[in-house]
Structure 1
Amino acid sequence: MTISRDTLHTLCPLHALLDRHGRIVQAGPTLIKLFDSPVQGERFLDLFEVYRPRAVTAMAGLLQTEGRKLHLRIRLGKRTSLKGVLFPAANGGALINLSFGIAVVDAVRDFSLTGNDFAITDLAIEMLYLVEAKSAAMDSSRRLNTRLQGARLAAEEQAFTDTLTGLKNRRALDHILERLKRTGSDFTVIHLDLDFFKQVNDTDGHAAGDRVLQCVARTMVELTRKDDTVARVGGDEFVIVLPNAMERERLQALCSQLIQRIEAPILHDGKACHVSASIGIARTMGKPVELETLSEQADIALYASKRAGRARFTFFDDTQKATLSQQTSAIAGE
């Protein structure tokens, strides 16, 4: 019985029909796709290396493998492995069927094969469905993981952000200070407290107070560097952390700008709200300092600014601590 060319293409899309010299006289459509070029007229053994059951170098040796499983690999390019079986054909030629022997996953990846490149009854079709299903599941999983990661980052950001001003909150500040402490590098802590903020809240209402806090926060962000941290740690209390050593003159200039900008009237519903800022500054100065101690030093310097008349800045020194206990209670209520 003679099998037509179209029938062979359908039943064995990955086949080669050889003449008695071992040249390909007919090739299945999938075989042609593997080489992306015509293969008719080429010697089969020039295209494929047969390495089991034994090395085969000529057509005579190839014919001796009749009915046995052949292990082959493509000689050039991606060196894809295949398995096949040989049957003698007319005039000393042979039919080699490779349709069930290609590594499906690798072939799909390397040669962009689809279900149309395999016989309808081939188990490779089922494997292709599994590969596609796995790919779709992995894509879905990646998208879900991306959304979950985004949600986690958003939740973390929300947990470290003051909702009114958009600044960092005390929890974020603690993390940043701990990280700076571990690095061992110098940094500066500026404690800023608004003067007369209570009067704004009492006279103009909490909406006006919120407007003032938002404007003050924007001012501090505008005057500080990208790597600096600005945090709201209380109702009208803010902390600025400046990593790396900063000269005293630069800190003075920064604090002067902060006070000047914050003293500018802030409009709310057509009415001007007036506040000022008192500032305390504490620096590590090349010495290991506990974070609690550094925070206390900035607080002491802040209250020194309050005692001196407000709307000013003060650098911490040890002489300030002696007089703090006598006046802290009265000043804190203002």
Structure 2
Amino acid sequence: MTLPMAILNDLCPMHVVIDASGHVRQTGPTLAKLVGDDPLEGTRFLERFEVYRPRSVSGMAELLAAAGRKLHLRLRDARRTAMKGVLVPDGRGGAVVKMSFGMGVVDAVRDFALTSRDFEATDLTVEMLYLVEAKSAAMEASRTLNLRLQGAKIAAEERAYTDTLTGLRNRRAADHVLAQAAASDGAFAVLHVDLDFFKDVNDTLGHAAGDRMLRQAAQVMTDLIRKGDMAARVGGDEFVILLSGLSDRGAVSSIARRLIDGIEKPVPFGGRSCTVSASIGIVVVTDPGREPAGILAEADAALYAAKRAGRGRFCFYEPGMTPLADAS
């Protein structure tokens, strides 16, 4: 006895009823959704579905002979949607084929906008879909959290290496970059910059004016250095600049002169004009394996020589120069 269509639709929304001639006489609502404007009713089952396992199915007789076995089939359409099925003969030469998506259910739900109503009420597929959705949501939440943590870590590391007042690198970053440069085979130049007359600005106009001068000096440095160079604030009014790959004294001198000229430009503050200068000690490093502390000591000695020579100028380190701390 053939079940009424409404009962089959509720119990098995993915089914087809085939008559003895192999034509589709009835289609479940979910299968109807899959084929859309090209209905299955009235067409030959094996012309609309390819049975690729078992391989010998080419007609109604072979199809009925596969009763009770798992059928592997796919729609003969552009998407080639794969399905599993089982055939039950109706006793009159026809059959009912119950189908499911198997492992391809996630793709089918996406491709055909299926919902829980497109599956049997007791179908474990629905529960599996909930699990897939929950897993996807959990993975997305985990990915978002990881991105936030990574962003927070990068931001924390950036803050740890940045001078908050000027936005330049800080002493920690300068030590790290200098150590890397000293360990490499490339040449580089180190400029130790100290602002002249900075204390006078602080004493007469206050720390706000001094901060303004520090930020202005930092901007001058940022505008002059190249990508791959480094400018760092390493003390109250002291800065270190590392010029990567640069050992030509003429080129370094040009940069130092432009630094001094830029820093000496008056800066308006509170209706007054603030002016500082800069003294610079320079070390050109061409030998690999130098100790960073030794390089900085030489830059400090050259800086002291520049200040002793009248300030507002630069000096290259020469053997015999005495660091400021050791000067008599």
d(CA) in 1 for partners of 2:246 and 2:44? 75
List gaps (5 residues or longer) in structure 2. Answer: none
Q: Note closer, same or farther for the CA distance 1:244–1:51 as it changes in structure 2 (3 Å cut).
A: same
Q: What residue in structure 2 maps to residue 151 of structure 1?
A: 152
Q: What residue in structure 1 maps to residue 128 of structure 2?
A: 127
d(CA) in 1 for partners of 2:317 and 2:103? 78
Write out per-residue CA displacement over residues 189-229 of structure 1, whole angstroms, 9 at most, x where no aligned residue: 11101111122222222222111111111111112223321
Q: Note closer, same or farther for the CA distance 1:147–1:102 as it changes in structure 2 (3 Å cut).
A: closer
d(CA) in 2 for partners of 1:260 and 1:101? 76
> Are the equivalent residues in 2 in contact too, given 1:104–1:127 (CA < 8 A)?
no
> Are the equivalent residues in 1 in contact too, given 2:302–2:315 (CA < 8 A)?
yes
d(CA) in 2 for partners of 1:98 and 1:246? 77
Aligned residues: CA RMSD: 2.6
Q: Note closer, same or farther for the CA distance 1:164–1:30 as it changes in structure 2 (3 Å cut).
A: same
d(CA) in 1 for partners of 2:18 and 2:177? 74
Picking from 47, 50, 53, the partner of 2:49 is: 47
CA shift, 1:148, in A, is: 1.7
d(CA) in 1 for partners of 2:158 and 2:207? 26
Deviation larger for 143-152 or 82-91: 82-91
Q: What residue in structure 2 maps to residue 84 of structure 1?
A: 85
Deviation larger for 34-43 or 247-256: 34-43
Q: Note closer, same or farther for the CA distance 1:238–1:36 as it changes in structure 2 (3 Å cut).
A: farther
**Partner secondary structure for residue 164 of structure 1:** coil
Q: What residue in structure 2 maps to residue 306 of structure 1?
A: 307
CA shift, 1:102, in A, is: 5.6
CA shift, 1:131, in A, is: 1.7
Aligned residues: 326
| 2:12 maps to amino acid | C
Q: What residue in structure 2 maps to residue 230 of structure 1?
A: 231
> Are the equivalent residues in 1 in contact too, given 2:184–2:289 (CA < 8 A)?
no
Q: Note closer, same or farther for the CA distance 1:121–1:8 as it changes in structure 2 (3 Å cut).
A: same
| 2:69 maps to amino acid | R
Which runs of at least 4 in structure 1 moved beyond 6 Å after TM superposition? none
> Are the equivalent residues in 2 in contact too, given 1:45–1:58 (CA < 8 A)?
no
Q: Note closer, same or farther for the CA distance 1:166–1:60 as it changes in structure 2 (3 Å cut).
A: same
> Are the equivalent residues in 2 in contact too, given 1:233–1:239 (CA < 8 A)?
yes
| 1:4 maps to amino acid | P
| 1:60 maps to amino acid | A
**Partner secondary structure for residue 86 of structure 2:** strand
Deviation larger for 26-35 or 134-143: 26-35
With normalisation by structure 2, the TM-score equals 0.88
**Partner secondary structure for residue 191 of structure 2:** strand
| 2:9 maps to amino acid | H
> Are the equivalent residues in 2 in contact too, given 1:24–1:44 (CA < 8 A)?
no
> Are the equivalent residues in 2 in contact too, given 1:99–1:119 (CA < 8 A)?
no
d(CA) in 1 for partners of 2:12 and 2:109? 17
> Are the equivalent residues in 1 in contact too, given 2:188–2:284 (CA < 8 A)?
yes
Q: What residue in structure 1 maps to residue 241 of structure 2?
A: 240
Q: What residue in structure 2 maps to residue 296 of structure 1?
A: 297
Q: Note closer, same or farther for the CA distance 1:75–1:171 as it changes in structure 2 (3 Å cut).
A: farther
Matches within 5 A, 1:59-70: 59-70=60-71
d(CA) in 2 for partners of 1:179 and 1:200? 36
List gaps (5 residues or longer) in structure 1. Answer: none
CA shift, 1:294, in A, is: 2.0
Write out per-residue CA displacement over residues 151-201 of structure 1, whole angstroms, 9 at most, x where no aligned residue: 111111111110111111111122222333454222221110111112222
Write out per-residue CA displacement over residues 90-127 of structure 1, whole angstroms, 9 at most, x where no aligned residue: 64221100147464334334544332321222111111
Q: What residue in structure 2 maps to residue 207 of structure 1?
A: 208
